Structure 1
Amino acid sequence: MPDERTDLPSAGIDTTTPSVARAYDAALGGKDNYEVDRQLLAQLNAAVPEVNEIAVSNRKFLIRAVEFLARKAGIDQFLDCGSGLPTAENTHQVAQRENRDSRVVYVDNDPVVLAHGRALLEDNDKTYLVGADIFDPPAVLQNDTVRRHLDFERPLGLLQVATMHHHDADKGLAPAEVMRQYIEALPSGSYVVFSHFFDPEDEAHSPIAHRVQAILNASISRGYFRTRAQIEEMLVGLELLDPGLVVNDDWYPTGPRTTPRPAAGNCIVAAVGRKP
């Protein structure tokens, strides 16, 4: 495998501390996780029994959105921030199913993700992985691998799927400023695929958001359930496609629900926006 296809710091795997990426992998039925990660997932499921379903729902949103961009919007290059572990239906698999020439650059700084990165790239010469902090836009946007393989003179797809809710607003740039810098750097006609933990600010669902946030913040990763107004600040500069910012399984579902939505399903929202 050519060395230029990765831009990764050395990384080891700590199997004694839970990893959000591995817990997400466990929720999706993946195999790249350990007992400590499954214990974190079990703790979340004990507080909110629908956590697994929410993880699956979020991945299905990503799949539908990437299919739309590749199939109908003509997007053939993608910058996937906070890619997570390679698991079922990654961005490059979805995009390249529609257009085999689609290029995907993944960005992550989780040592667990980076440790698995080369395996992801072994059999794909149009997929790249960058080790960088996605909450530092210049570090990503000025990265040599990003600039070499994505053409910022043409529209591209930026993915921030279940990422910004892990950003601590008290550290570094505010979340809205992080997104502003990414959106400003995108060429006209580009798209942003976005999902985020959501505090509906109501008696029925806000307690769920608060319980999950407390568990996450007591573990290895932070997780913030933000209000609609706070999330909308992160999408300034985009024209949101119908149906706008909605509960993620309401963004162009493949069919009507046949079962009631889990209560926790109201605590994550999604949108796809186009930069004019």
Structure 2
Amino acid sequence: MSDAIDTKTPSVARMYDWLLGGVDNYPSDREACQELLEIAPSSKALALNNRAFLRRVVRVLAQQYKIRQFLDHGSGLPTQDNVHQVAQQVDPQARVVYIDNDPIVLAHGRSRLDQNDRVAILKADMRDTKKIFQHPAVVDLIHKDEPTAALFVSVAHCLKDEEVVPMLSAVKDRLAPGSLFVICQLVSDRADVRDRVTALMDRATHGTWGRVRETREVRAYFDALGLKIIDPGLCDVTDWRPDTDLVPRQKEDDWVEWGGVGELLSP
């Protein structure tokens, strides 16, 4: 796969970066975001709340569940308080592998994320589980007999319906009991929002996107894997163990990031 950066085609990672107030994006990304905001005006607040959830859930898993190794699938562009920074604040020995196939993510990630020998970023499609687990960085950092946090934060909507559960199941088969899956994606109760956003992103990314779904479909991921959902259950991620009331409020009822955390039990 070429590492050339396509600046003409919007990138999900760069669009997310723009919504978070970042600068690692191009006119094509900003134009797509403006179209997105016309359909779902709460998208900026949603992005900020989703990033806060990622920081919060990593901290909870490191502090309360003693997780010391993290696989961040579809990690996106680096920003403040990345997964390894949060986890290593709890335990400096925590190990993190970031996985992405976007050239700009890799370019920025290697300079901003690869900060010590307990952090790695690898170029891989998150659906290629076999390649990921055979990669030397994963072999070295992710110990197969220890519980792992497998992060799938705001990525399932980038995949086709038939791809999501097989990917999650392939990861499950390689993790130890006690591992935790963090799964959330964009959902909406409004069919017009689901259809219009899906059409926009499919067109903007030239068909490399999935679908805005309904909450019942995200719940089905956890059911398919047989995961034990931990408190507070599946919800708008803004409401997952909030640690502050000072969050951007989504004033419209267009869409939310919805999901939670499930524990992999012993067979």
Is this a same-fold pair by TM over 0.5? yes
Counterpart secondary structure, 1:226? coil
Selected match of 2:191 from 200, 203, 206: 206
Q: Displacement of 1:255 after TM fit?
A: 4.0
> Where in structure 2 are the equivalents of 1:85-234 lying within 5 Å?
85-169=77-161, 174-200=163-189, 205-220=190-205, 221-234=208-221
Report the Cα distance in structure 1 between the residues aligned to 2:135 and 2:64, rounded to whole angstroms. Answer: 29
SS of equivalent residue, structure 1 residue 195: strand
**Alpha-carbon deviation of 1:123?**
3.2
Contact 1:23 / 1:37 at 8 angstroms: preserved in 2?
A: yes
Are 1:68 and 2:60 an aligned pair? Answer: yes
Partner of residue 6, structure 1: none
Distance 2:239 2:170 in 1: 28
Aligned partners of 1:44, 1:266: CA distance in 2, in Å? 12
In 1: Cα distance, 2:129 partner to 2:115 partner: 29
Q: Distance in 1 between matches of 2:155 and 2:28?
A: 22
Q: CA RMSD in A?
A: 2.0
Per the TM alignment, residue 124 of structure 1 is displaced from its structure 2 partner at its CA by 2.7
TM-fit CA distance, 1:243: 1.8
Q: How does 1:8-27 map to 2 (within 5 A)?
A: 11-27=3-19
| CA–CA separation in structure 1 for the residues paired with 2:250 and 2:78 | 27
Aligned ranges 1:45-84 → 2 under 5 Å: 45-84=37-76
Counterpart-to-counterpart distance in 1, 2:259 and 2:33: 22
Change (3 A) 1:92 1:257: closer
TM-score (norm 1): 0.87
- Secondary structure of 2:204 counterpart: coil
Amino acid at match of 1:251: W
Query: Which of residues 229, 234, 238 in structure 2 aligns to 1:245?
Result: 234
Identity %: 36
CA distance in 2, matches of 1:58, 1:258: 10
Q: 2:245, 2:113 → 1: CA distance?
A: 36
CA–CA distance in structure 2, aligned partners of residues 84 and 106 of structure 1: 9
Q: Secondary structure at the match of 2:171?
A: helix
Structure 1 contact 177–234 (Cα < 8 Å) conserved? no
Extract unaligned runs of 5+ from structure 2.
none
After superposition, the C-alpha distances for 1:157-191 in whole angstroms (9 at most, x for unaligned) are 1100011111113xxx5311211121222101111
1:254 alignment counterpart: 243
**Unaligned 5+ runs, structure 1:** 1-8
Q: TM-score, normalised by structure 2?
A: 0.90
- How far residue 58 of structure 1 moved from its aligned partner, in angstroms, is 0.9
Q: How many residues align?
A: 261
Q: Is the 8 A contact 2:114 2:121 kept in 1?
A: no
